[in-house]
Structure 1
Amino acid sequence: MKKVLTTPISDEAIKSLNVGDIVYLSGTLVTCRDEGHRRVIVEGIMPELPLEKMAIFHAGPIVKDVESGWEMVSIGPTTSMRMERYEKEFLAKTGVKLVIGKGGMGAKTAEGCQESIAVHAVFPGGCGVVAAEQVEKIEGKEWPEFGMPEAFWILKVKEFGPLIISIDTQGNNLFESNKIGFHEKKEIALEETAKAIVSMIAKS
């Protein structure tokens, strides 16, 4: 059965998620990249739209002006690690419950997810046009002075995803765990390769 989160997202819904879970989002989704995080944390300026219990997307959309307002052309994820230095404080200050992006995030964000009851999820890269089709409407825009990719776009989405939970409220970090596992396998492979080379030399 498809698991769908709907904004406003409750703490209970967020606590029920574990790393590796696949979920979808319906409701309000806001794009927020480097400049948006910097404005909130460094400048201390909050957007007009309350972000408590909402979801943000590390993304730089391509938007087209139309008679009725705007039309989403493509919206691919931005590398989330770029926001690592801000995310923990951003979660605490805004009350955001779901952060979506590309790739993993670090220990500081994992701490923030534990303390603020939030999760980070990964949207598949290279699927910007598919993601745009899941945007039902662009409901508004804030901070247009940042330009199209960095502006604060307010989107209405339906079953946006798939989203893979990479950091949960227990501080589990899928990408960091995988790094440890890959490193251990690499060390074993190197050791076995070295033994094989020594054996070959001894036989020659």
Structure 2
Amino acid sequence: MIKRINAPITEETIQTLKAGDTVLLSGVVYTARDAAHKRMCQALESGQKLPFSLEGAVIYYVGPTPAKPGQVIGSAGPTTSGRMDAYAPKLIERGLKGMIGKGQRAKEVIDAMVAHGAVYFAATGGAGALLASRITRCELVAWEDLGTEAVRKLEVVDFPLTVVIDREGTNLYDMAARDYQE
């Protein structure tokens, strides 16, 4: 069964998501990779306001390619999530509810997800053109000097994802490895 959910994500929605669920996400998603995460954490540490509210937010770990004429955005495939692991717990503590990327997450990130109610989604690597077709709007939000790693606000419709780690810490990658070994 495919679940349709909206972003920003509510606590009620978080409660319904389980590792292995297929979802179609619609709504607002922000882009940020490691350089932007570093700046967000520095801003928080110095008491500055972030360029967007973390409350219920979803961050997509992506550095999209430039849009061709007539396109909203270029290819928009996920990047490896582990590069954000040093920063993610601080953002989760402040209201971040969803992260989209690929690959495993550190124990500290999973612990923060469990403590504060967040989920980790995987987007299919190598499917950047398909994923870009689900983005209906792209707007620069902050740190243009970071180029493709700048923070952008995306509007997505039926963005295809899989819940990899749910708010209880159940990890689809670990489940699949155990199933394979049996």
CA contact (8 A) 1:110 1:172 kept: no
Local SS of the residue matching 1:13:
helix
In structure 1, the partner of 2:6 is: 6
Compare relative contact order (CA 8 Å, sep 6+) and give the higher one, 1 or 2.
Answer: 2
* Larger-gyration structure (1/2): 1
In structure 1, the partner of 2:138 is: 138
Is 1:19 matched with 2:12? Answer: no
More helix by share: 1
CA contact (8 A) 2:75 2:132 kept: yes
Aligned-pair distance for 1:96? 1.5
Separation in structure 2 between the aligned mates of residue 46 and residue 38 of structure 1, nearest angstrom? 14
Count of residues in correspondence between the two structures: 179
**Unaligned residue ranges in structure 2 (runs of 5+):** none
RMSD: 2.1
Separation in structure 1 between the aligned mates of residue 143 and residue 120 of structure 2, nearest angstrom? 24
CA contact (8 A) 1:102 1:125 kept: yes
Please tell me the residue identity of whatever aligns with 2:113: C
Q: TM-score, with normalisation over the residues of structure 1?
A: 0.80
In structure 2, the partner of 1:175 is: 173
In structure 1, the partner of 2:58 is: 55
CA contact (8 A) 2:5 2:26 kept: yes
Separation in structure 1 between the aligned mates of residue 164 and residue 73 of structure 2, nearest angstrom? 26
In structure 1, the partner of 2:151 is: 152
Please tell me the residue identity of whatever aligns with 1:174: L
Separation in structure 2 between the aligned mates of residue 10 and residue 118 of structure 1, nearest angstrom? 10
Separation in structure 2 between the aligned mates of residue 66 and residue 116 of structure 1, nearest angstrom? 41
CA contact (8 A) 1:59 1:76 kept: yes
Separation in structure 1 between the aligned mates of residue 144 and residue 163 of structure 2, nearest angstrom? 30
Local SS of the residue matching 1:28:
strand
Q: Report matched runs for 1:74-113 at 5 Å.
A: 74-93=75-94, 95-113=95-113
CA contact (8 A) 2:140 2:150 kept: no
Separation in structure 1 between the aligned mates of residue 2 and residue 72 of structure 2, nearest angstrom? 27
Please tell me the residue identity of whatever aligns with 2:75: S
Separation in structure 1 between the aligned mates of residue 87 and residue 16 of structure 2, nearest angstrom? 25
Aligned-pair distance for 1:46? 4.3
Please tell me the residue identity of whatever aligns with 1:129: A
Please tell me the residue identity of whatever aligns with 2:158: E
Separation in structure 1 between the aligned mates of residue 78 and residue 49 of structure 2, nearest angstrom? 22
Separation in structure 1 between the aligned mates of residue 4 and residue 104 of structure 2, nearest angstrom? 21
Runs of 4 or more, structure 1, over 3 Å off, are: 176-182
**Unaligned residue ranges in structure 1 (runs of 5+):** 186-204
Q: Are residues 46 and 80 of structure 1, via their aligned partners in 2, closer, same or farther at CA, if it must alter by over 3 Å?
A: farther
Q: TM-score, with normalisation over the residues of structure 2?
A: 0.89
